[in-house]
Structure 1
């Protein structure tokens, strides 16, 4: 079965497929625990993460020179499920983990992996709780620290001249990190700070509050289905043209844009990367992903691909032997690979120091809404928690 045939299987089918493959793995193959969300309306995010990681592995089943097998588990967006998967995989001997795409789920997985002496490399969430005092030598975040994306958005709001804003996010760890990060760099007035329910579908009450507050703009963080619903309802309420919307890129990823249609046109976003990045590595990745899976990669896919190649670089440095924990840890910390996004380094808390961009969703020559790069708004940006991290 080719890469596309394998990777296009979703949900429990994918979990079963890769688990069977793992059971047949040879002793030379490194097992990687890959816990992610494949079911629920947010499942497309986990699919993009899994598929991009598999694209990096390729037909030869290797990360760099190391044969690997992914042991994929669908957490169903439930922390308890994820912890059970982590416990089971740790007990079976798995020492390297990745794949989680929500902060509340990672909070249930990371302590289990750390307690076992294993390694966790995050493809997406970077919750503040593990970025400062609770940092760990075996925990790396290859994407971003949660607040940092929103700190960049605060800088973008300043650049765009917004003097007073309403800010909104779901009431969970990543949502609270989002609004705290935005407020950390935003120089204007926050006239309303609104917390919604995770996976909320109806935002009529919140839209009425926005209209009443009459801000210059709003900043909202709602990933997945909630973000689609928010953008469409905001547009249908006639607010988009009078009160501009600023978001982090994961509140309007490539799949969400297709679902929202013209509601995304004209929206600004902070971003690390878009499909419109003007470099050969990015163009090659977008082309290969579209050929393999028949869809446009999201930023989640880009991060997963970079994460896989980071791990590959570290595995090559230690000859695939992660039992030499000190050597593997040092190899990961070097980040000695060429990412699709701008080159980055790791800070003292093993979160990326990297560039962020102001982007805008607008129609290209073919009438498709794409995320264009406006300008760089933060260079070599380090998160606010790095100074609190003291590695043992």
Structure 2
């Protein structure tokens, strides 16, 4: 496995520029593009590229160069590629990043170099709180929030006994902490498994023995494919409802098949949201890639639209890190989720929806929006952030 993907250069170079001026915007796009979770990075990138298309191939009107790097879901590789982007490639901004363990590793070199970072996915709790930075922004969410929404839903439905599972890394721990913040019933078991663990037979036996009313898990990418199929094969699906976040979505649904039917999740966006920006994005993504976009793709798209607006506002100072960060904080753009605003820690305040996976009359699998769980929901860590 090569450590670095070949650089992708997008957009023509600007023709004549004033002496001494930089003639293009350099964007480092870092994500997991290899291994069982590669689909998540590809969806982030594809969504970003639709956003770039909508900017005419030139973010903020500047010729745009995208440098695409694979972190391989390895924090040390993430640090290597980010240092290369900063020191050798001299990028103006970095975006992407699927996994929180990678984000935690690259946060320091990015913020110390004053390189603006727009996360298109990972939103670790420490970065939302005490490690918040004027150079870090999330175009997605804070890790806990979708999990909080499912916890709230089960609490409101009167569920009393649950079993929890997640991979043992930052986002897994954040996720279950978020769920428990709003679910006040009994947790019969809380199990953390190895990242990319392929077999869950031992844990499924524990669930059967515990006899919960519901199971809640967080298993993104290939982990989610394996878990959901094994859950159904073990016969648990017919007895114990399965709830999750980032486990059943457009990146995993085709592989999970009918095993995913009847599961519930929560998300800040669904492909049937009724606003102009979302409809345009969904239509153009389907046209470009021939499939329905996931929330990962929607986040990548919003990252591109946010950056486009900020570069326009920064103008001639867009390649200055401090000026670009200030512009990102104030930028206004049409988000797929509707109105978009940052909290003081640079994480969004937004709605969350309950989503059910169903089998349509034509036999296709769909995820259907079942209504709002949280309105204008802020993350739990903003009070720990010293920025105001």
TM range (shorter): over 0.9
CA distance in 1, matches of 2:251, 2:138: 24
2:199 matched residue in structure 1: 202
Q: Compute the displacement of 1:295 (Å).
A: 2.1
User: How far apart, CA to CA, are the structure 2 residues paired with 1:385 and 1:25?
Assistant: 42
* Cα offset, 1:136, TM superposition: 0.6
Distance in 2 separating the partners of 1:335 and 1:298? 24
Which residue of the partner structure matches residue 387 of structure 1?
383
Within 5 Å, which residues of 2 pair with 1:1-392?
Answer: 15-18=5-8, 27-58=22-53, 60-92=56-88, 93-248=90-245, 250-319=246-315, 321-391=317-387
The 8 Å contact of residues 355 and 378 in structure 1, kept in 2 or not, is answered as yes
Q: Structure 1, unaligned stretches of length 5 or more? A: 1-10
Between the aligned partners of 1:25 and 1:12, the Cα distance in structure 2 is: 32
Contact 2:7 2:67 in 1 (8 A): no
Distance 1:23 1:109, change over 3 A: farther
8 A contact 2:351–2:377 mirrored in 1: yes
Does the aligned pair in 1 maintain the 2:116–2:324 contact within 8 Å?
no
Distance 1:84 1:350 in 2: 25
Q: How far apart are 1:154 and its partner, in Å?
A: 0.7
Query: Distance in 2 between the 1:63 and 1:185 partners?
Result: 40
Once the two structures are superposed, what CA deviation does each residue of 1:207-231 show, in whole Å capped at 9, x if it has no partner? Answer: 0000011010010000011111000
Take 2:6 and 2:125, find their aligned partners in 1: how far apart are those partners?
33
> 1:119 and 1:187, CA in 2 relative to 1: closer, same or farther beyond 3 A?
same
**1:364 CA drift (Å):** 2.5
CA RMSD of aligned residues (A): 2.1
**Aligned mates of 1:324, 1:288 — CA distance in 2:** 32
SS at match of 2:251: helix
Residues of 2 paired with 1:260 and 1:84: CA distance? 34
Asked if the contact 1:61/1:69 (under 8 Å) is kept, the reply is: no
